[in-house]
Amino acid sequence: MTPKDKLQNGTAVIGVLGLGYVGLPLVLGFAEKNIQVIGFDVDVKKVDALNAGRSYIQHIGPERVTNTVKAGKLSATADFSRIPEVDVIIICVPTPLDHHHEPDLSYVRATRDTILPYLRANQLVALESTTYPGTTDEEFLGPIKDRGFKLGEDFFLVFSPEREDPGNPDFHGTGIPKVVGGHCPACLEQGVAAYSAIYKKVVPTSSTRVAEMVKLLENIFRAVNIGLVNEMKIVADEMGIDIWEVIEAAKTKPFGFTAFYPGPGLGGHCIPIDPFYLTWKAREFGVHTRFIELAGEINEGMPHYVVRRVGERLNKLKKPLNGSKVLVLGLAYKANVDDMRESPTFKLFDLLRGQGAELSFHDPHIPVITPTREHSEYTGWKSIEWNEAAVSAHDLVLISTHHSKVNLNELAAWAPVIVDTRNAMNCIATKPGQVTKA
């Protein structure tokens, strides 16, 4: 029986490989629809947490995990020899960039090689990891065929880009339309059936390559527009114009304008990375993606601009950056989540420390910095306590992320100088000259 057949008769088992910010919502989505799910991960701590009914992602309530585990619909394992038990294999592993801004598919390839010996007939493999067009076919077709399977007959392959936006209260999980592209029409049919079991709307595309390009276009659109507004911020600052006021006025236009907002740089698992996947692949076709690369340069340069503004503000106080005590407010890459993947705050850390600043951070969502791929030197750093003595002990507070849990009225009362990259202090009563926007 195909996965579609088993989904229709209620006997299907779903396997999700990678139980992070993408994989965990996915396993819960299936389990909450009364579909049996096995979550696979090499991180035994995540496996143990799920089997104990605990959530390890802040914006995902623990009751969701507890309820599905108690109902017997969700279990987790680090034993990949259990792959034959599942009918649908959904791969949600990281696709970072290497130090040369080139795609790093090592996690995808390692996962593929791990599951290959255990594949059986009538399974569906769905790759969700963001990547360049052609990856699904190039990385999976040959190895699957070498196992003796016939694509579209006794085995099925699709690509379906993840669209999670951690902490977004309006759009999340299975309420977000799901794009699916199949290697062939029969593969697409199986993929649509699998995702239709939990998603309100499934959007089929003609190939895996189209689906891969959809994801890149979505994130390149954001990266380019953020690059534009970041550049406009620098221009506006030089002209003595508040770019935030400009954006608020511009977005009253009911057509032809979409508001994007400046910041200290790009963060998250997609927008700082995905454009470079297309840039790298485009070179194979002799295409130079100048627009994408220019936006990337601007966005990557924003931490340098922010630190320069910090230095200028301290100079007005006749204090050098070297030796000044700087508190960075917010480590997560976006507001109200505990997700610090690719956070521009890490770059701010590097630049500030490189110029001799004595650095602290406060983030109500991240009490301690856990190991990261790129910034292991910060592992174990602890968020300082939020009180007047701790905050006022610093020469300057730099707002990198605007968390709603932070009491900005207290910040205004306690901090001698504030450099604000998020317009967080706009509606807060502050002293004359206390706040500098950056």
- Compute the mean pLDDT over every residue in the chain, rounded to the nearest whole number: 94
Q: Rounded CA gap, 403 and 414, in Å?
A: 17
Give the single-character DSSP code of 139.
I
pLDDT greater than 80 at residue 168: no
231 close to 268: Cβ distance less than 8 angstroms: no
Across 16-30, 269-283, 300-314, least confident range = 269-283
Confidence at residue 262, expressed as pLDDT on a 0 to 100 scale: 96
In this prediction, residue 98 carries a pLDDT of 79
pLDDT at 309 exceeding the cut of 90 = yes
According to the model, what pLDDT value does residue 269 have? 63
Range scoring the smallest mean pLDDT among 140-149, 282-291, 316-325, 420-429: 282-291
Identify the DSSP state of 89.
E
Per-residue pLDDT, 280: 86
Rounded distance between C-alpha atoms, residue 372 and residue 380, angstroms? 11
The answer to whether residue 270 is catalytic is yes
Domain boundaries defined on the chain: 3-206, 223-437
Give me the count of residues in the chain.
438
Q: Among 265-269, 304-308, 421-425, 429-433, which stretch is predicted with the lowest mean pLDDT?
A: 265-269
Q: Which residue in 92, 184, 270, 427 is the catalytic one?
A: 270
Return the pLDDT at 421: 98
Write the CATH number of the domain with boundaries 3-206.
3.40.50.720
pTM: 0.90
Residue with tokens 């205004």: 412
Instruction: Compute CA 189 distance to the chain's CA centroid, rounded to the nearest angstrom.
Output: 29
Residue ranges with strand state E in 73-112: 74-77, 88-91
Structure tokens at 346: 């890490």
Q: What's CA 416's distance to the chain center, in Å?
A: 34
In tens, the pLDDT along 313-370 reads: 999 999 999 999 999 999 999 999 998 988 999 999 999 999 999 999 999 999 999 9
Which of 398, 406, 396, 386 has the alpha carbon at shortest distance from 422?
Answer: 398
- Give pLDDT tens digits for 180-232: 999 999 999 999 999 999 999 999 999 999 999 999 999 999 999 999 999 99
Place of tokens 């951690």: 166
How distant, in Å, are the alpha carbons of 336, 368, 369, 417 from that of 385? 18, 12, 15, 19
pLDDT score for 423: 97
Tens of pLDDT along 147-163? 999 999 999 999 999 98
**Beta pairing class for 155-159 and 178-182:** antiparallel
- Bridge partners of 399, per DSSP, are 329, 420
Confidence at residue 261, expressed as pLDDT on a 0 to 100 scale: 96
Q: Are 227 and 299 in contact (CB under 8 A)?
A: yes
- CA 268 to mean position of chain CA atoms: 4
**How many Å apart are CA 424 and CA 262, to the nearest integer?**
12
Lowest mean pLDDT among 226-235, 261-270, 305-314, 402-411: 261-270
**Mean pLDDT across the stretch 97-109?**
87
- Decide if 3-206 and 223-437 have a common fold: yes
Distance of alpha carbon 206 from alpha carbon 185, whole angstroms: 8
| DSSP-H helix ranges across 201-336 | 208-238, 243-250, 274-283, 290-316
Report the pLDDT averaged over residues 31-41.
Answer: 97
**Between 267 and 386, residue with greater pLDDT:** 386
Residue 171 has pLDDT above 80, yes or no: no
- Residue pLDDT, tens place only, 45-64: 999 999 999 999 988 889 99
Eight-state DSSP code of residue 117: G
Architecture field, domain 223-437: 3-Layer(aba) Sandwich (3.40)
The model's pLDDT over 79-93, given as tens digits with 9 standing for 90+, comes to 999 999 999 999 999
